[in-house]
Amino acid sequence: MKGPYSEICDRTQRRDERLKVKNRATGEVGLTYGCTLEGDTVQVELTDGTLDSWREDDCEVVS
């Protein structure tokens, strides 16, 4: 993770934005709904409605 809050977690946690992100490792796409600083993970709701956690370094914001 880049600093205490990266851009993804800052926007998700502090600004209450749900960002569309893509997992660079798997290609899956979903919307963010939270972050855990301890584990450097982003909580994501996938397009099929299931929930997952991804390493923050694997996430990229997509438009």
pLDDT per residue as tens digits for the range 26-54: 999 999 999 987 778 999 999 999 999 99
- Note whether 20 and 59 are within 8 A (CB): no
Residue 30: closest CA among 41, 38, 15, 39:
41
Percent with pLDDT over 90 in the chain:
67
N-terminal to C-terminal alpha carbon distance within the chain: 21
Confidence of residue 14 (pLDDT cuts 50, 70, 90): confident
Distance (Å, rounded) from C-alpha 52 to C-alpha 38? 16
> Can you list the domains of the chain with their CATH numbers?
7-61 (2.30.30)
What does the CA dihedral 16, 18, 22, 28 come to, rounded to 10 degrees? 130
Confidence of residue 63 (pLDDT cuts 50, 70, 90): confident
Confidence of residue 5 (pLDDT cuts 50, 70, 90): low
Instruction: Give the three-class secondary structure for 61.
Output: strand
